[in-house]
Amino acid sequence: MTHGMVRVAARRTHGVLVLALMMLAALLVAAGARAAGAGYWHTSGNRILDSANQPVRIASINWYGFETTTFVAHGLWINDYKAILNLIKSSGFNTVRIPYSDQMMSQNPVLGTMNINRNGINTDIAADARALDVLDKIIAHCSTIGLRVILDNHRSNAGNSAQESGLWFTSEFPESTWLANWRALTTRYNGNTTVIGMDLRNEPHNSACWGGDPAGCSSANDWHAAATRAGNAILAINPNLLIFVEGNDRYNNSFTWWGGMLRGVASRPVSLSVANRVVYSAHDYGPAEANQSWFNGSTTAASLAAVWDQNWGFIHNQNLAPIYIGEMGTLNGNADIQSSTPGSQGQWFSSLVQYLNGKSSMGWAYWAMNGNDRYALFNNNFNGIVNQSKLTLLQPLMFPLDQQPGNTPAISGVNPASGAVGSSVTVSGSNFGASQGTSTLRFGNTNASVSSWSAAQISASVPNVGAGAQSVTVTVNGVVSNAATFTVATQQQPPAITSLSPTSGAVGASVTISGSNFGATQGTSAVRFGTTNATVTAWSNTQVTATVPSVSGTVAVTLLVGGIASNAANFSVTTTPTPNYALGAAPAALTVNRGASGSVTVSITRSGGFTGSVALSATGLPAGVSASFSPASTTGNSSTLTLTASSTATLGNATVTINGSNATVGARSVQVALTVANPGGGGNATITGAVTSNSPWFIEEQVRINNPAPITAMTVTIVVARNPAGLSVGGQYNNIGGQVAQASSATASQLTYTFTLGAGQTLPAGTGRVFAAQIGGTGAAHPTTGDTWSVIYTSGGTQTTSSGTF
Helix (H), strand (E), coil (C) string for 151-202: EEEEECCCCCCCCCCCCCCCCCCCHHHHHHHHHHHHHHCCCCCCEEEEECCC
| Residue of 172, 327, 700, 701 marked catalytic | 327
Whether 736 contacts 764, CB under 8 Å: no
For 562-587, what is each residue's pLDDT tens digit?
667 788 899 998 866 778 999 999 98
Full DSSP string of 273-302: SSSS-EEEEEE---TTT---TT-STT--HH
Residue boundaries of the structural domains of the chain = 3-32, 42-397, 410-488, 496-573, 580-677, 686-805
pLDDT band for position 520 (cuts 50, 70, 90): confident
Residue 313 DSSP symbol: I
In CATH, the architecture of 42-397 is Alpha-Beta Barrel (3.20)
Q: Which fold has domain 580-677?
A: Immunoglobulin-like (2.60.40)
Cα 496 from Cα 498, distance rounded (Å) = 6
Provide the pLDDT for residue 166.
96
| Residue of 172, 203, 246, 700 marked catalytic | 203
Nearest CA to 271 out of 339, 202, 325, 321 is that of: 321
Q: Which fold has domain 686-805?
A: Immunoglobulin-like (2.60.40)
Helix pair 81-90, 131-145: axis angle to 10 deg: 40
Determine whether 289 is an active site residue: no
What's the Cα-to-Cα distance from 310 to each of 215, 254, 263, 292, 529, rounded to whole Å?
18, 11, 7, 15, 41
Whether 326 contacts 246, CB under 8 Å: yes
Q: Which CATH number is 496-573's, of 2.20.25.10, 2.40.420.20, 2.60.40.10, 3.30.1360.170?
A: 2.60.40.10
Judged by average pLDDT, the poorest of 354-358, 407-411, 647-651, 723-727 is 723-727
Model confidence at 274: pLDDT above 50: yes
Judged by average pLDDT, the poorest of 26-40, 440-454, 529-543 is 26-40
Provide the pLDDT for residue 722.
56
Determine whether 203 is an active site residue: yes
In CATH, the architecture of 410-488 is Sandwich (2.60)
* Mean pLDDT over the full length of the chain: 84
Whether 431 contacts 476, CB under 8 Å: yes
φ/ψ (deg, to 5) at 390: -70, -45
Chain centroid to Cα 600, Å, comes to 33
Model confidence at 6: pLDDT above 80: no
pTM to 2 decimal places: 0.54
Provide the pLDDT for residue 18.
34
Same fold, 410-488 and 686-805: yes
pLDDT band for position 42 (cuts 50, 70, 90): very high
pLDDT band for position 454 (cuts 50, 70, 90): confident
Residue type, 619: T
